[in-house]
Amino acid sequence: MAARRPTVDDELLTLRRVQINGIDLAVDEHGPADGPVVVLLHGFPELAYSWRHQIGPLTDAGYRLLVPDLRGYGRSEAPAAVEDYAIDVLARDVTGILDAFAVERAVLIGHDWGADLAWKTTWLHPDRVIAVGGLSVPFAPPAPAPPVGLMRQGLGEDFYMVWFQEPGVAEAALERDVRRTLATSRQWTAAWAQEQDDVPPTPSFLTDEELDVYVRAYERTGFRGGLNWYRNLDRSWERTKDLDRRIEVPALFLTGERDPVRRFMPSVVMQGWVTDLRVDAVIPEAGHWLQQHAPEAVNEHLLAWLADVT
């Protein structure tokens, strides 16, 4: 029998609010209290809810899951200061979650920005991590110069990470019609923001009810918290550029065959930096929203890898 999809009500029943690193974070806890701990970290513009397809299979396999709405998202606090979203601060949120739940070491798995956070937390705090998995975004060693300038030079002013840099601009465009923003299959750019097209149909990997969960959350919070992660690209680079450390714990990387991130962040960038990459797989036909788009394939890879590393 197929597992029932978790609902928002389920999340509220498992919710714990914890004071971590100076802010209030919402963390959903699932699974047996004595199971190996796995922390699932979502991306932009997502929520803890983005891992709903993984919760049943992983808890059924005996894992204890900690699934936060990350800093600036959903039910968690969103500090006003842009610098409060630098990667070293975000990594301390993750170790703070482990401290709050009395966990010494855990497996970290992330998607999109959550993948970058999983890699960087492992890089900055290797003593707290058993193994690390990234979906869609590979570990990226420090660039030779501040990354926003490199993106502007190589990918143009309308590249979404460059367009996101000016406070207030992307927020106004993304929040004008939250459903259009979340349903689109196109990249968010200044050109996209100028158009007045109709709301796209619900993406194939979401039901209307699931899309509604995201729409309600972002209509309430807006996008500023998540955008502030992008606005720290250069600051985060400055704070970590001199760290010459390899990621030596067992690692996994999954990407979708149709994920556009592969064009500018190929997994080859990890060579020499991630020394125990046990899984490096491309999911056929899948796009960027990997664990929602191809949950069965993702869960199969995760369960096999977790059995190997825990």
What the block records as the tokens of 234 is 């250069």
Task: Return the closest-CA partner of residue 134 out of 149, 155, 118, 123.
Answer: 118
SS3 content of the chain, % helix, strand, coil (to 5): 45, 15, 35
Q: Look up 308 and say whether it is catalytic.
A: no
Structure tokens of 283?
Answer: 């999911």
Kindly name the residue from 28, 84, 112, 259 that is annotated as catalytic: 112
SS3 161: helix
Structure tokens at 35: 């199971």
Q: State which amino acid sits at residue 96.
A: G
111 a catalytic residue: no
**Are the beta carbons of 298 and 291 closer than 8 angstroms?**
yes
Cα 261 to its chain centre, rounded Å, is 13
The single residue of 30, 53, 288, 293 carrying the catalytic annotation is 288
Whole-number Å distance between alpha carbons of 302 and 226 = 26
Helices first, then strands: H and E counts in the chain: 15, 8
CA–CA gap between residue 273 and residue 278 (Å, rounded): 13
Rounded Cα gap, residues 177 and 124, in angstroms:
38
Residue 115 CA to residue 279 CA, distance in Å, equals 15
Q: Which residues carry out catalysis?
A: 112, 288
